[in-house]
Amino acid sequence: MEPTDQAFLLVGLVISLGACLVAGLQELERWRERRSGREDIIRAAMRLVVMPKDRD
């Protein structure tokens, strides 16, 4: 292999690893948002059950 071929392979490897890292971080952020959304729903449901308001 010529040095230029190796350089292109190295650049391609770095770009693909960077893309994988970005995709992983985005998936982690989506997971955190889904988890916090579920926790908010659970807290709201518990408030309704634990502290029901008088509806007279």
pTM of the model: 0.57
> How much is the pLDDT for 54?
58
Query: pLDDT at position 46, please?
Result: 78
Return d(Cα 18, Cα 42) in angstroms, integer: 36
Tokens standing for 48?
Answer: 């309704």
pLDDT of residue 38: 76
Distance CA 53, CA 14 (A): 58
DSSP category for residue 2:
-
Each residue's pLDDT, cut to its tens digit, for the chain (56 residues) gives 788 999 999 999 999 999 999 999 999 888 888 877 777 777 777 777 776 565 54
Distance of CA 48 to the CA centre of its chain: 30
